A and B are shown apart, each in its own frame.
Chain A
Amino acid sequence: MAVCAAIVGKDNSPKYFACTNPDEELNFQYKVLSSLDVVEEKLNAANKGSDMRELYLGILYSLETHKIYGYVTNTKIKFIIVAESTNTALRDNEIRSMFRKLHSLRA
């Protein structure tokens, strides 16, 4: 299970933030914000190349304790999910479906 999920707006401001442990929220906010660096870079690279069809960005950061995944809608709304590194049961596909659910919930 993910430990933290966030929706970040086009201007990179947080729109929604939730994590399982409220005490850790600040830390997660920092982490999510840091991962936006990678998102921005990936979007820049994608802009230069072909059009973006794949919304799922894959793993953004693989830290000692956590893995951070990203997903960007066509309107540049970013979804970020943080999972624990120890949670090896979590497969790429599940993360994808989690994002898709999040996306449809928001829509």
Chain B
Amino acid sequence: MQPNYVALYNEQFELPPELCAKPLALVGVSGLDTVNNAIHKTIWENLSSNRRVERSPVLFKLISNAQEFPVVKPKRNSYEWYIPKGILKKNWLRKHLSDIPSVIVIFYDLDWNDLQWNEKIIECASRVQSLRAALEGRNTRLVVVLLQNTPPLPAGEDSLSSERAIALCASCEISAKSLFVLPHGDHLQGYIVRLESAFYDLAQNYYHMEAKHVENHKEYLNKNTHQYLFVRHQFKMGFLNELKQDIHTAHKHYTYAYNKLLEIRIVDTNAMEIQTVAGFINYKLCKLMFTLNLPRDAISQFKAHAERFKSRIGFKELAFEHYAWLCKQYSIFGDIFDEAVRLGLPAVQTQHPGVYYQQAAQYAIQRKKSCLELCNNVTAYPTAPDPLEGLDHLEFYGQRPWRPGKLNMDNPDPQLEKKGIQALQFLEKQVAHSNVIISLYGLAVSQYKTYKCPRTRRYLVVQMAEEYFEFRDYGKALTLFTHMIWDYRLECWWSILSHILQKALQCAFLTATVQDYVTISLELLGKSITTTTEYKAQVYENLIRVLKKQIPNPVLNLPSYDVHTSLNLWKKVFESESIHLTVDMNSVVSCIETKARFLKDKYEADQNVVLEVFIRSTCPFLLRFTRLSVTINTSEYSSEFAVNETKFNNPNLTFESNEVKKFIVEFLPDSETTGKDMQINSINLYLGIPKECCVELSFNGNLAVSTGGIQEFSRFRRKSASHVDFESILPQSSALVVPRKSKLNVNYDHKQPALVGEWFNIIITVSNEDIAPISSVNVLVNLSEGEMDGSTEFCLNTAAKSELLPLNIGLPDLKVGESKSINLYIRGHKAGQRTVVFKVSYVLESDRSGTSISEDTLHVPFVKPFEINTKFSNTLFEDISKFYVDEEFVVTPIINCVSPWPIVIENTSLDFMPPVESIDESVHSQVKGLILNDKESGAEVFLAKVKRNCESPVNVGQYTIKWKRENGLSATSQLMIPGFEIEWIPLDIKLDLPAFGLLHTPLLVTYTLYNRSHQLLQLEVTVEGGDAFMFAGYKQIPISILPESFKTLDYNLYPVVAGNIVLPKIMITVPENNTEGPSLRQNQVNALLDRALPTHLFIMPQVKGSPEFPKAIQDENLLKVV
């Protein structure tokens, strides 16, 4: 056997590179010295490199002067006696791809004005001639490109060049169209691109002619003997059209070729060849259809192709060859599909390259199977003669080396045939099938991942892992298996999971991976795993063995060689001192389930935290643990609490099948945990003996995956016999540690409601009723959220400033039973409720020095102590609604008490504000010392006048009340008293009138009229007496009052009746048409008279006898009048 046979054998299933290469028009380049000539080198680089999409589809090839081209076969005039020996010749494709150029370009350095023109033209012609001779019989186009230093002149202007061009064409025997000029100055790239497209045109033309040429053979062919030739010619035309880049025509010819191929009767001897060629043509067809954007056609072509050949196994002894071919077909189609997708074809979930890779993998497996079946007995390469002699230089694709070129009619030599088969079987045995399968699975997996098929992908990975297993790469298999388990577990496909776990367990055994071995064993022992009890017993026994550091018994059906290796591995593992494994059980649905809960969601800092841990074993056999502990996490640290640590081998940790046990963990939380969350981080169960082989199983206490099987029905299931209903336990994995509850007695002494404006006193009394002395006692005072609007003040001492919130009041240390009071003052400036929050914290002087906190809230309603109304009146105590300049008026503030507590008015004052001023020089409060109860009022009067007019209402002044509640602290309330607008009129009038008159006694009254203006005031005065008086004085008089002066009118009145008598009525009229003087309207005058003059006077009757005057009248003034 020749050593390269294996490689050749593998190659025969691959597509030949010449078939897969992108067909590009071949253009030969001659006359460029790329080594020595820099200009030539640049030109060549411009031609050959930087071939982007927009450049013409041309492949340049350097041709030396001595290049030899494939010899042209003698022309055949008749096919009558010609019998083809095969379908496709192996050398043809390569010949046209890379050996026979469609165009040869001869570069030659020649300027039109070259001095040695005649010599050079001869040399150029000879070059052309020598190439033409070398290409004898071919239709390759020859083109001459002159490399020139000078840029060309516009056509027609250079007679020398056109003349010489004609001469050159003539001597080279080329047409004028085949002569080009390339100036190698500027814009080289541009020139080259244009040249290139000219070459491409020529090349297309050449390939067109070539295809025509092949087509012309058709008429000579006959259908009986030349079936192969029909295929061959159509294939050639297809390929030539591809070179021409005419893919539509190429597709047409390939389709013909494929159909012609199907017409050939398949027999054992040609089956291989036909399949091979069919694969080639199918490849070309599918690829072109994807390029033509006909993906559906490509897929259906491929499906039909695969379907057609699927059952054509050919030689039973070489069935693997058939499967290899099928596998290749699918994987190639997958590649083409994938390429099309990468170029922008959209694929869908059910139709994408992965589907084909997957099928390819299936056939690869079949190939492997049939290889195992057929080649097992072949142990040696057959003896001479070598049936595979000449395998590397067969003339046709897909032929058997031991009968090359034989026609299908011939009867093969059975002996030779047998040897050939044996040789192939021997070679097949060398193939690394698993690698092929695994890499195909790999391709499929990545495709399925792209097309959102996680489950299919998982299935493929499992299959891949199984292949690794068969390939005896148990480590990789184990990794893949264990990675895939999770999702099957999540979706509860238990039988699949059981299957994978069993395989994985074998892998773990064979690789002596203790960790995985234990984990998988525990999972296999779980109740949801659907294996036989015997199997579980075996797993259980092995698990116990491992825990005792004994090598587990191998499971049946494992390759004995590997078992032996693994036993050594196990030995090594157990040689080490001690094995300590930690298994994260959260992602495993094992035979042990745990739940843990805090009994409360809040624990006080000095309370014992109590945890319940439930453990259920669904293992069908007895499980014994050595230790149980719980890890608790807070944000800062974690601590572990063991259960029953003191009693070693505690029988409580032994579980019968389906037994549920409850354990209690109690501990005191660390003082630092106060205010923080505790979390059950893990429940740790220890299997095995410490220092020997110990497995720590770590659960988080929440079952991530339901093991209950059909969840919906779990309610209807009968309760299990065990006394704890495991399913119904709700885990509570976190709890808050709150500060210790305060044992202080805090008393708040205050008298509600508080009054707005006063310092409201709250006496806080803290008494220590705890078990030990306390220190660091603190009262934190704050307002509740939303009330911090600045309308409330706090202080500890009313003399001092108010304090900022939150107010922290420190208290001295208190012994047991001791108490301490503090005064807190609150002042509110608005009525309404305040919520004051008191937080009392202290540290108990004991071993557990945690802080204890209590919180109280106090609702303090604030009410107004009083309301103030103000009345304004004129000197006659009649209500007014306007002030007049220089006219006196009376201000009467009335304090209406609305406080539930009696209020003591300490003092009041009214500070007038300009333009209002007091009439009296010193004013004393008239309500000072008054005690007002609820709904009582106190009023006082102030006389005032205004100095100047003002159109808008003015403020009269600030009214200040200093008050307190009885036994309370003084408070001051101030308020602004609003007044009216002020009017000015030029006239004022006053009436001097005694307090009363006496019947039949004349009395003198004087009217004084003032002119306040700077102008003369002229008025008409009329006085109308009544029945009650007789009077003396002017009845009607026009008067003139000088500016800023006054006039008096005196009248003597003689009352004739006693009682409250109407005074004579004075009327003042403003003369009409009086344009001089200040503006004064009649209605203003009338209003003035109404408000300024009294209308009545009390007239006393004459004394009869000698009456005794009441005290009130015994006044000196009064007596004088009398």
Contacts of B454 on A, CB cut-off 8 Å? 37
Q: Is the CB of A29 within 8 A of B453?
A: no
Q: Is the CB of B349 within 8 A of A37?
A: yes
Q: In the docked arrangement, what's the CA distance between A29 and B497, Å?
A: 11
Closest chain A CB from B600 CB (angstroms): 33
Q: Is the CB of A14 within 8 A of B459?
A: no
Q: Is the CB of A38 within 8 A of B496?
A: no
Q: Is the CB of B350 within 8 A of A60?
A: yes
Q: Is the CB of A11 within 8 A of B491?
A: yes
Q: Is the CB of A33 within 8 A of B493?
A: yes
Q: In the docked arrangement, what's the CA distance between A14 and B709, Å?
A: 9
CB of A15 closer than 8 Å to a CB of B: yes
CB of A61 closer than 8 Å to a CB of B: yes
CB of B710 closer than 8 Å to a CB of A: yes
Q: Is the CB of A37 within 8 A of B456?
A: yes
Interface of chain B: mostly helix, strand, loop or mixed? helix
Contacts of B496 on A, CB cut-off 8 Å? 26, 29-30, 33
Contacts of B493 on A, CB cut-off 8 Å? 13-14, 29, 33
Contact of A26 with B495 at beta-carbon distance under 8 Å, contacts A34-B453, A41-B452, A61-B350 already known: yes
Contacts of B459 on A, CB cut-off 8 Å? 30, 33-34
CB of A12 closer than 8 Å to a CB of B: yes
8 A Cβ contacts from B309-335 to A? none
Closest chain B CB from A37 CB (angstroms): 4
CB of A64 closer than 8 Å to a CB of B: yes
CB of A2 closer than 8 Å to a CB of B: no
Contact of A11 with B456 at beta-carbon distance under 8 Å, contacts A26-B499, A37-B349, A64-B362 already known: no
- Mark A51-73 against chain B: 1 for CB-CB distance below 8 A, else 0: 00000000011101000000000
CB of A102 closer than 8 Å to a CB of B: no
CB of B370 closer than 8 Å to a CB of A: no
CB of A36 closer than 8 Å to a CB of B: yes
Contact of A25 with B452 at beta-carbon distance under 8 Å, contacts A34-B459, A38-B350, A61-B350 already known: no
Q: Is the CB of A64 within 8 A of B359?
A: yes
Q: Is the CB of A34 within 8 A of B710?
A: no
- Mark B484-512 against chain A: 1 for CB-CB distance below 8 A, else 0: 00001001110110010000000000000
Contacts of B453 on A, CB cut-off 8 Å? 34, 37-38
Closest chain B CB from A86 CB (angstroms): 12
CB of B296 closer than 8 Å to a CB of A: no
Contact of A13 with B492 at beta-carbon distance under 8 Å, contacts A26-B499, A30-B459, A41-B452 already known: yes
Q: Is the CB of A13 within 8 A of B491?
A: yes
Q: Is the CB of A12 within 8 A of B491?
A: yes
Contacts of A41 on B, CB cut-off 8 Å? 349, 452
Contacts of A12 on B, CB cut-off 8 Å? 491
- Mark B433-466 against chain A: 1 for CB-CB distance below 8 A, else 0: 0000000000000000000111110010010000
Closest chain B CB from A75 CB (angstroms): 11
- Mark A82-99 against chain B: 1 for CB-CB distance below 8 A, else 0: 000000000000000000
Chain A residue nearest to B351 (CB atoms) is A62
Contacts of B462 on A, CB cut-off 8 Å? 30
Q: Is the CB of B455 within 8 A of A14?
A: no
Contacts of B710 on A, CB cut-off 8 Å? 9, 15
Contacts of B492 on A, CB cut-off 8 Å? 11, 13-14
Q: In the docked arrangement, what's the CA distance between A25 and B462, Å?
A: 16
With a 10 A CB-CB cut-off, give which of A29, A34, A38, A62 has the most chain B CB atoms: A34
- Mark B694-738 against chain A: 1 for CB-CB distance below 8 A, else 0: 000000000000000010000000000000000000000000000
Q: Is the CB of A25 within 8 A of B349?
A: no
Q: Is the CB of B495 within 8 A of A29?
A: yes
Q: Is the CB of A37 within 8 A of B455?
A: yes
Contacts of A14 on B, CB cut-off 8 Å? 492-493
Chain B residue nearest to A42 (CB atoms) is B349
Q: In the docked arrangement, what's the CA distance between A60 and B456, Å?
A: 12
Contacts of A64 on B, CB cut-off 8 Å? 359, 362
Contacts of A60 on B, CB cut-off 8 Å? 350
Chain A residue nearest to B496 (CB atoms) is A29
Chain B residue nearest to A37 (CB atoms) is B453
Closest chain A CB from B1003 CB (angstroms): 107
Q: In the docked arrangement, what's the CA distance between A31 and B488, Å?
A: 13
8 A Cβ contacts from A19-54 to B? 25-26, 29-30, 33-34, 36-38, 41
With a 10 A CB-CB cut-off, give which of A14, A37, A41, A60 has the most chain B CB atoms: A37
Q: In the docked arrangement, what's the CA distance between A87 and B401, Å?
A: 42
Contacts of A34 on B, CB cut-off 8 Å? 453, 455-456, 459
Contacts of B455 on A, CB cut-off 8 Å? 33-34, 36-37
Closest chain A CB from B350 CB (angstroms): 6
Contacts of B456 on A, CB cut-off 8 Å? 34, 37
Q: In the docked arrangement, what's the CA distance between A60 and B454, Å?
A: 15
Q: In the docked arrangement, what's the CA distance between A48 and B362, Å?
A: 36
Q: In the docked arrangement, what's the CA distance between A107 and B865, Å?
A: 77
Contacts of B359 on A, CB cut-off 8 Å? 64
Contacts of B362 on A, CB cut-off 8 Å? 64
Q: In the docked arrangement, what's the CA distance between A41 and B499, Å?
A: 27
Chain B residue nearest to A36 (CB atoms) is B455
Closest chain B CB from A41 CB (angstroms): 5
Q: In the docked arrangement, what's the CA distance between A37 and B454, Å?
A: 7
Contact of A37 with B452 at beta-carbon distance under 8 Å, contacts A30-B459, A64-B359, A64-B362 already known: yes
Q: In the docked arrangement, what's the CA distance between A81 and B350, Å?
A: 17
Q: In the docked arrangement, what's the CA distance between A64 and B710, Å?
A: 33
Closest chain B CB from A1 CB (angstroms): 23
Q: Is the CB of A25 within 8 A of B350?
A: no
Contacts of B491 on A, CB cut-off 8 Å? 11-13, 33
Closest chain B CB from A27 CB (angstroms): 10
8 A Cβ contacts from B322-372 to A? 349-350, 359, 362
Contacts of B495 on A, CB cut-off 8 Å? 25-26, 29
Contacts of A37 on B, CB cut-off 8 Å? 349, 452-456
Closest chain B CB from A43 CB (angstroms): 12
Q: In the docked arrangement, what's the CA distance between A15 and B708, Å?
A: 12
Contacts of A9 on B, CB cut-off 8 Å? 710
With a 10 A CB-CB cut-off, give which of A26, A33, A36, A62 has the most chain B CB atoms: A33
Contacts of B499 on A, CB cut-off 8 Å? 26
Q: In the docked arrangement, what's the CA distance between A11 and B489, Å?
A: 12
With a 10 A CB-CB cut-off, give which of B362, B455, B491, B492 has the most chain A CB atoms: B455
Q: In the docked arrangement, what's the CA distance between A34 and B710, Å?
A: 21
Closest chain A CB from B500 CB (angstroms): 10
Closest chain B CB from A46 CB (angstroms): 14
Contacts of B452 on A, CB cut-off 8 Å? 37, 41
Chain B residue nearest to A15 (CB atoms) is B710
Contacts of A26 on B, CB cut-off 8 Å? 495-496, 499
Chain B residue nearest to A26 (CB atoms) is B499
Chain B residue nearest to A62 (CB atoms) is B350
Contacts of B350 on A, CB cut-off 8 Å? 38, 60-62
- Mark B1056-1080 against chain A: 1 for CB-CB distance below 8 A, else 0: 0000000000000000000000000
Chain A residue nearest to B362 (CB atoms) is A64
Q: In the docked arrangement, what's the CA distance between A61 and B81, Å?
A: 53
Q: In the docked arrangement, what's the CA distance between A13 and B459, Å?
A: 16
Closest chain A CB from B491 CB (angstroms): 4
Q: In the docked arrangement, what's the CA distance between A13 and B496, Å?
A: 12
Chain B residue nearest to A31 (CB atoms) is B459
Closest chain B CB from A91 CB (angstroms): 20
Closest chain A CB from B664 CB (angstroms): 34
Supply 27 A–B pairs (Cβ within 8 Å), ascending by A.
Answer: A9-B710, A11-B491, A12-B491, A13-B491, A13-B492, A13-B493, A14-B492, A15-B710, A25-B495, A26-B495, A26-B496, A26-B499, A29-B493, A29-B495, A29-B496, A30-B459, A30-B496, A33-B455, A33-B459, A33-B488, A34-B455, A37-B452, A37-B454, A37-B455, A37-B456, A61-B350, A62-B350
Having A30-B459, A30-B462, A33-B488, one finds 19 other A-B pairs with CB under 8 Å, namely A9-B710, A13-B492, A13-B493, A14-B492, A14-B493, A26-B495, A26-B496, A29-B493, A29-B495, A33-B455, A33-B491, A33-B493, A37-B349, A37-B453, A37-B454, A38-B349, A38-B350, A60-B350, A64-B359
Question: Which 5 A-B residue pairs are closest in the complex by CB-CB distance?
Answer: A13-B492, A37-B453, A34-B456, A12-B491, A30-B459
